[in-house]
Chains A and B, each alone.
Chain A
Amino acid sequence: MKLRWLAGYGPAFVLGVTLLVFWELYVRAGQISSQVLPSPTAIIQALIEHWDVISIHTMQTLLETVLGMAVAIVFGLILAITLEISRWSRRAVYPLLVISQTIPIIALAPLLLIWFGIDLGPKVFVVALYCFFPIAVASADGLADAEPELINLLKSMHASRWQILWLVRLPGAMPSFFSGLRIAATYGVTGAIFGEYVGAYQGLGIYMQLSVNSHAIVLVFAAILVTAVLSLLLFGLVSLIERIALPWYHGTVIHRR
């Protein structure tokens, strides 16, 4: 079972390793200056050597990401429930919500710096902006998707609007909520780095900025590698929580006591 699951990733693994080997050989053959494009092994080496500094920046970025996602979850769920409860609010807010996504958040980051300063707050805010949309939209769709027949059944039991929400709509929307959260998890780290890019004391974003300024390209790559791993870990963590929270959805558990 586990082996077959791993085997599914076999082709991707082979392709990835092949690309890395080509990259390594290309740089080693002197086709390009290692100052401009460092080889994969050089990047790993630099990462290990500078881990004491990079790890501090990583923790800062992780903190911002997790806080921002938490804020996005709270407000995303509140908005999704509001849209579900009131038909009027759905018609009024939903289109604005979609339009708001056309605003480039990168452009907002410098403004936030001016408005709220260089502290933790603005970074958390940028992450929350990134994560809010997928969570809110996926949850709202999940809440609206409940079978009309099921709603009728609850009405025949004289259930209140809130009971229908609590007993049927919310639990039924959980798979959609987690899909949104998984997308948010991959956006989150990027959001934090954008926030830091404009100005910060600590974090992978400002670390990349400083490394570019001092022409330490290899350290930029090291930071990019950490960013990617961080995003993947968050994605995996969300998937893991989903598996534990929704055993019925994955059909892996036959019954429970």
Chain B
Amino acid sequence: MEPAKLLVQGVSKVFRDGRKPLDTLAAIDLFVNAGEFVTVIGPSGCGKSTLFNIVAGVDQPTSGIVAIDGDAQGERAGKSGYMPQQPLLLPWRTVEENIMLGLDVRRLPRKKAEREAYELLKRFGLADFAHHYPATLSGGMRQRVALLRTVLFNSSFLLLDEPFGALDALTRLSLQMWLLDLWQTFHSSVLFITHDVREAILLSDRIYVLSARPARVLRVVEVDLPRPRRSEQLALEQAVRLEQELTTLLLKEQQS
């Protein structure tokens, strides 16, 4: 059996910046199998982003094991496509050049990188914007570009940190469907962060519910709605029941 795409075991994080050490993560366990869409959901400020920085190799855990493709020792940076909350597009690069950023870091020849970026833009309907600057794009468009940049850097394992948090409801829904299309095209493994319960149910195979800080896993839920997913499925009885259950759980955490 091939190893899990991502295995997180007993990962904790204590920040020692101020006078008092800040317990952010308390022994998190989770895994993502190849091709799975896994979501982490939790009250705001619970340390989800800290977990992401650790998986992306930007930060180190205080204790515990993080293994990507079964490798717990090696460098993690570069092994995932990491997308933070803001799109963080470079204003001096055109859409096409922004998407190529990861390939520039990998020192791919310019011509080859341009071709790959353009192919991707065409496949996902953004070819018309290839030579626009980000400042001229809408919020939803910027998020699409950021997502394509992430995919072009590493399509096998995506780390998406509340990518649709700042969008209006309609744009958000169309981007969710767009993301599922992307996920299916590339057979990616995805670890997704959100605090939107409906979004988690619509997208995921499995949901981890985190507690308030210091974060630990409160519940693990398998979502067995049929694929391909459509927004109408949120009205199914099992989806509604799951939504209520998770919302109640999160509300209790937010208060305490």
Contact = CB atoms under 8 A, between A and B. Distances in A.
A157 B105 contact: yes
Contact of A251 (B57, B94, B135): B135
A158 B77 contact: yes
Nearest to A163: B105
A254 B136 contact: yes
Given A163-B105, A255-B132, A255-B136, A248 B92 contact: yes
Task: Point out which of A171, A247, A253, A255 has the most chain B C-beta atoms below 10 A from its C-beta.
Answer: A255
A101 interface: no
Interface of B: 53, 56-58, 75, 77-78, 80, 82, 84-86, 88, 90-92, 94, 101-102, 104-106, 131-133, 135-136, 153, 159
Given A167-B101, A256-B94, A156 B135 contact: no
Nearest to A254: B136
Given A158-B75, A248-B91, A152 B84 contact: yes
A168 interface: yes
Interface residues of A, number: 27
Interface of A: 147, 149-150, 152-159, 163, 167-168, 171-172, 174, 246-249, 251, 253-257
Contacts of B57: 155-156, 158
B143 to A, nearest CB: 14
Q: Rank and list the top 7 A-B pairs by shortest CB-CB distance, nearest first.
A: A158-B78, A156-B82, A158-B77, A156-B56, A255-B132, A159-B105, A157-B105
A248 B136 CA distance: 10
Given A147-B88, A167-B104, A157 B94 contact: no
Majority secondary structure of chain B interface residues (helix, strand, loop or mixed)? loop
A153 B88 contact: yes
A255 B90 CA distance: 14
A168 B80 CA distance: 20
B53 A171 contact: no
Given A167-B101, A171-B90, A156 B58 contact: yes
Task: Point out which of B92, B94, B135, B159 has the most chain A C-beta atoms below 10 A from its C-beta.
Answer: B92
Given A156-B159, A248-B133, 4 more contacts: A147-B88, A157-B153, A167-B101, A172-B92
Task: Point out which of A157, A158, A249, A257 has the most chain B C-beta atoms below 10 A from its C-beta.
Answer: A157
Nearest to B106: A157
Contacts of A156: 56-58, 77-78, 80, 82, 159
Given A149-B84, A156-B57, A163-B105, A248 B75 contact: no
A247 B78 CA distance: 31
Contacts of B135: 248, 251
Contacts of A157: 77-78, 82, 101-102, 105-106, 153
B132 A149 contact: no
A153 to B, nearest CB: 6
Contacts of B136: 254-255
16 contacts: A147-B88, A155-B56, A156-B80, A157-B106, A158-B75, A158-B77, A167-B104, A168-B90, A172-B92, A174-B92, A249-B91, A251-B135, A253-B133, A254-B136, A255-B94, A255-B133
B176 to A, nearest CB: 22
B11 to A, nearest CB: 17
B82 A153 contact: yes
Contacts of B85: 149
A152 B78 contact: no
A149 B80 contact: no
A30 B39 CA distance: 87
B15 to A, nearest CB: 15
Task: Point out which of A150, A152, A253, A256 has the most chain B C-beta atoms below 10 A from its C-beta.
Answer: A152
A251 B84 CA distance: 25
Contacts of A167: 90, 101, 104-105
A171 B132 CA distance: 18
A155 B131 contact: no
A15 to B, nearest CB: 36
Nearest to B130: A255
Nearest to A159: B105
B90 A257 contact: no
A156 B56 CA distance: 5
Contact of B131 (A147, A159, A256): A256
Contacts of A251: 135
